[in-house]
Amino acid sequence: MSFARSPAVRSTPMELREQIERAFERTPAPQGRLVETLFDDEGVSDYFRGRTWRGHAVKDLRYHEVALSFFTPEAFRYFLPAFMLASIDDPEAADVIPDGILFHLSAPDDPHQWGRVVQFEPAECDAIAAFLWWLADQYNAGQIEKALEGLERAKQLHGG
């Protein structure tokens, strides 16, 4: 797996933040609906409609963390960096956000989840992998390995 890394190599939060911002700076905003649910989306559409992935308060993303489940694949790709940055900037206030990110990336064999992961371009895959390594000390290594496997498959599909 090309995402393998020595445990001694660690990005600082600032380096990780910069990598995420560079990787997603040209990611296209989703067009049309932001969520897949036809029922109550718990305010996700209202909150995210017309916004970019930049500049969110951690508390607002924590309040809307269910968005990770409701987003369309395009919206998931576009807004994921906001949730990763919130987790880096204030891990305590982000609370369960990293759990949600990891959950949605660690089942690449599930067709629904793969439909999200396959959207990521190689640089985005690299930034997400760096974020997952940053989380590695706190989370289940098996779950992180599954997420990295899916990102590697997505990267290869895009020629990365």
pTM of the model: 0.88
In a domain, 8, yes or no: no
Where do we find the tokens 């910069």?
A: 18
Residue range 77-126, pLDDT digits in tens: 999 999 999 999 999 999 999 999 999 998 878 888 889 999 999 999 99
CA distance 125 to 155: 6
- For the chain, what's the residue count? 160
CA distance 105 to 33: 21
Residue range 37-66, pLDDT digits in tens: 777 889 999 999 999 999 999 999 999 999
pLDDT for res 78: 98
Show the domain range for 91. Answer: 13-157
Q: How many domains does the chain have?
A: 1
In a domain, 1, yes or no: no
In a domain, 5, yes or no: no
